[in-house]
A and B are shown apart, each in its own frame.
Chain A
């Protein structure tokens, strides 16, 4: 764990890219969970006139 942290500190660009990817995954996850709209309507009984 410490070795990975040290490696990331030694490679700031890679670290930033990975962090961006992490944030992007969060945005994508949120969009997937909450992004879809609900276009369904409640069921109803057709009453003839």
Chain B
């Protein structure tokens, strides 16, 4: 039996045939048929080392050696890449490159650092405001730096994919999430903005995540399939999401078949992510020469009252411009009905809840910060305060359902200077309040959004 098997193997290799070449088709048919194909192939490979021609043995040994060396080089290279990421991640707080936003390596590296607080948000993060959290905490005034992640149009569905890509690295970590109310004021989110924030790597991490429940992946997949243009060039991702969304017994079985491919794809994606992140760090012209922050870490207790006062002077022009614009665009009749219909149907509610579920399943400790809807904005949009209340109460209900702290800054609704425009961009003054909330959150102090008390005047 053994001899017969060896004979077949020799024939397959061309050695048991007097050195005569066999037609490839016959060779295939002789060596690989029926369900024995994988076993035959493995056996052939093993036996070839012993029974193949010297030339074949040389090729096999050389190929194995090359694969081993390549594997070693890859492992060493990835370890070095991670070292570079760890060394320079603090310097990338102000960075909004694709490597940071569309990958996961740098976000994972940031979550691993105790003196970095990750702030997820959207366009408000990329505005150049001198009091923005990134700039305010740049020199670690109270012992930490804020690491913003997000750009224009990063709504909850895009954000949750970023969080899912970080995976267990977020467990037990504090994370802040800035909510833009404007995302809830449209029934359907603009597919162009979703596509502009879409990362196939992050989507794969979510679709084949081993840390999220099948129910959550199913619900997220159903939402992701609403943007089919992002999945057009990726059959594996599309197929996995469709199977997850289908959720029948057949779908679950087919998804299981896809999993090995998905895991392999994720492994390749993570390696590519590390390489891209390292190349990006090395490409930075103003990267520091040595790892670690070259900046001095000077501890200062911020005087919030004085900061609010000085920032109020900075937004004086903004307030006037907004009031003028509100008077100009103010509609003659109430728009409450249309607004409430839109808010009621907005898919962003679904996405926001999915994001909170993602935080919960990954055991993150999020703080939710929602920008206020100012009175002047209501005036410009023809809305009543009651319409605003509907939105705020629903948001509060959502946060309460997951027991996550939510700050709505309602004390500042009458302040036209909290935001710099009508599109959810914080002004210098608004950022000071955000900064104080982030500082309190980082240092486990009670959260307070009220205007700071005036220090007692010196007689």
Could you tell me if B273 and A20 are in contact, using CB atoms closer than 8 angstroms?
no
Could you tell me if B193 and A24 are in contact, using CB atoms closer than 8 angstroms?
no
Pick from A16, A38, A40: contact of B61, CB under 8 Å: A16
Could you tell me if A35 and B275 are in contact, using CB atoms closer than 8 angstroms?
yes
Pick from A12, A21, A39, A45: contact of B102, CB under 8 Å: A39
Q: Which residues on the B side are within 8 Å of A48 (C-beta)?
A: 423
Could you tell me if B190 and A37 are in contact, using CB atoms closer than 8 angstroms?
no
Q: Which residues on the B side are within 8 Å of A16 (C-beta)?
A: 58, 61-62, 65
Q: Which residues on the B side are within 8 Å of A36 (C-beta)?
A: 272, 275-276
Q: Does B186 contact A (CB under 8 A)?
A: yes
Q: How far is the CA of A16 from the CA of B269 in the complex (A)?
A: 33
Q: How far is the CA of A20 from the CA of B185 in the complex (A)?
A: 62
Q: A16-B65, A24-B66, A44-B195 are in contact. Are A39 and B201 (CB under 8 A)?
A: yes
The total of Cβ contacts below 8 Å across the A-B interface reads 88
Q: Does B150 contact A (CB under 8 A)?
A: no
**Distance in Å from the Cβ of A15 to the closest Cβ of chain B?**
6
Could you tell me if B195 and A46 are in contact, using CB atoms closer than 8 angstroms?
no
Q: Which residues on the B side are within 8 Å of A38 (C-beta)?
A: 200
Closest to A38 in B: B200
| Interface of chain A residues 18 through 49 with chain B (CB within 8 A) | 19-24, 26-28, 31, 35-49
Q: A44-B196, A48-B423 are in contact. Are A20 and B102 (CB under 8 A)?
A: no
Could you tell me if A46 and B152 are in contact, using CB atoms closer than 8 angstroms?
yes
Q: How far is the CA of A39 from the CA of B69 in the complex (A)?
A: 28
Q: Does B366 contact A (CB under 8 A)?
A: no
Could you tell me if B201 and A37 are in contact, using CB atoms closer than 8 angstroms?
yes
Pick from B63, B98, B198: contact of A23, CB under 8 Å: B63
Could you tell me if B66 and A20 are in contact, using CB atoms closer than 8 angstroms?
yes
Q: Which residues on the A side are within 8 Å of B197 (C-beta)?
A: 41
Pick from B63, B198, B272, B275: contact of A41, CB under 8 Å: B198
Q: How far is the CA of A26 from the CA of B69 in the complex (A)?
A: 13
Q: Does B439 contact A (CB under 8 A)?
A: no
Closest to A35 in B: B272
| Interface of chain B residues 200 through 241 with chain A (CB within 8 A) | 200-201
Could you tell me if B99 and A46 are in contact, using CB atoms closer than 8 angstroms?
no
Q: How far is the CA of A44 from the CA of B151 in the complex (A)?
A: 12
Could you tell me if B276 and A37 are in contact, using CB atoms closer than 8 angstroms?
yes
Q: A41-B199, A46-B193 are in contact. Are A19 and B58 (CB under 8 A)?
A: yes
Q: How far is the CA of A22 from the CA of B192 in the complex (A)?
A: 46
Closest to A37 in B: B272
Pick from B102, B186, B190, B193: contact of A40, CB under 8 Å: B102
Q: How far is the CA of A24 from the CA of B71 in the complex (A)?
A: 10
- Max chain B C-beta neighbours (<10 A), residue from A12, A22, A27, A37: A37
Residues of B within 8 A of A (CB): 54, 58-59, 61-63, 65-67, 69-70, 98-99, 102-103, 123, 152-153, 182-183, 185-186, 190, 192-193, 195-201, 268-269, 271-273, 275-276, 423-424
12 contacts between A and B (CB under 8 A): A12-B58, A16-B61, A31-B70, A37-B273, A39-B98, A39-B276, A40-B98, A41-B198, A42-B196, A43-B196, A46-B193, A49-B423
